[in-house]
Structure formats: structure tokens, C-alpha cells
Copies of this chain bind each other. A is one copy, B any other.
Amino acid sequence: MPERFPLPPRDKKQLEAGTTLSPRFDANGLVTAVVTDADDGTLLMVAHMNAEALALTLETGIGHFWSRSRASLWKKGETSGNFLNVREMRVDCDQDALWLRVKVAGDGATCHTGRRSCFYRVVDVTDGEISLRDDGGETLSTTHHV
């Protein structure tokens, strides 16, 4: 697997309709990675990948990311056992975002809070007042993990 990917073509049509994966890494060398459950489509997490994380994900079939907070490569599930087994990867039109459809190993929690999904709070607007409401979903892991 390459740790370098081809540079994005200047030609927009080639970028958007071609068969070459040429990710448009941002100034920090990252693309956005959206992770959903392969079975029911639930949005589980949003993370970032550098070229190395992307190459490792393609090579192993297990989700690897770049942790911006820890500034290090991050094999998701390394401490929890909740690895992300990638069933399908897709790329968007302008190749700056990836979509990983996964099966989560272990107890199924993706969020470090122990919940299945990081998106456990709904944004409510009532009479112009914005608040967050926990959806009351089950906590799968009792210990915080990454």
C-alpha cells in the first residue's frame, strides 16, 4: 500500500469522474472520514485520516485515523477491542471526504463515552432557545476508551 497517493488532478472532471483515488488532503494533511454502521446506516463518528491512516485502513480493512487531539496515528479500538471492520469505503465527488461503512467489533461502542454513536445529543430549538437533549441511548461500555 502506498503511503503517498497520487496528487489530485487539476482537471475537475477527472477528479470527480475518474477511477483514481487521489485524496485532497487539507493544509494539515487530512481528509474527513465519516463512519456509519454497515447494517442500519447509523452515523457513528466523524474523524480524520492522513495518508498513512488511509493506507493502513485500505491494507488491513480496519479503521485507522489521525488523532488531532493526540497528534498521533490512531488505530480505533486498540484499547477497547472495538475495532472498526470496514465493509465498504467510498469517496465523495471532490475527494476530500471518505465514507466508511463498518461493523464495530467488541461491545459495539464507538464513542469514547461508551455509547454506540458519538451523536447522542439532539439539537432542540424551542421559542428561539437552543438546547441539547440526550437521546437516552444505552451505554454499552462502562469504561471510557478510545
Within the complex, the shortest CB–CB distance from A132 to chain B, in Å, comes to 5
* Known contacts A91-B132, A125-B58; A34/B43 CB under 8 A: yes
Question: Is the CB–CB distance between B32 and A43 below 8 Å?
Answer: no
Beyond A36-B43, A89-B122, whether A20 also contacts B132 by CB under 8 A is: yes
User: Which 4 residue pairs of A and B lie closest in terms of their CB atoms, listed nearest first?
Assistant: A41-B41, A92-B118, A46-B97, A89-B123
- Interface size class, chain A: 35 or more
Q: How many copies does the complex hold?
A: 2
Taken together as a complex, chains A and B put the C-alpha atoms of A94 and B36 apart, in Å, by 18
CB contacts (< 8 Å) of A112 on chain B: these are 93
For the complex, give the distance between the alpha carbons of A133 and B41 in Å: 21
Chain B residues with Cβ below 8 Å from A134 are 17
Q: How far is the CA of A18 from the CA of B120 in the complex (A)?
A: 11
**Does A99 count as interface, using CB distance less than 8 angstroms?**
yes
**CB–CB B90/A119 < 8 A:** yes
Give the one of A42, A128, A132 with max B CB within 10 A.
A132
Which A residues from 18 to 65 make CB contacts under 8 A with B? 18-21, 32, 34, 36, 40-43, 45-46, 58
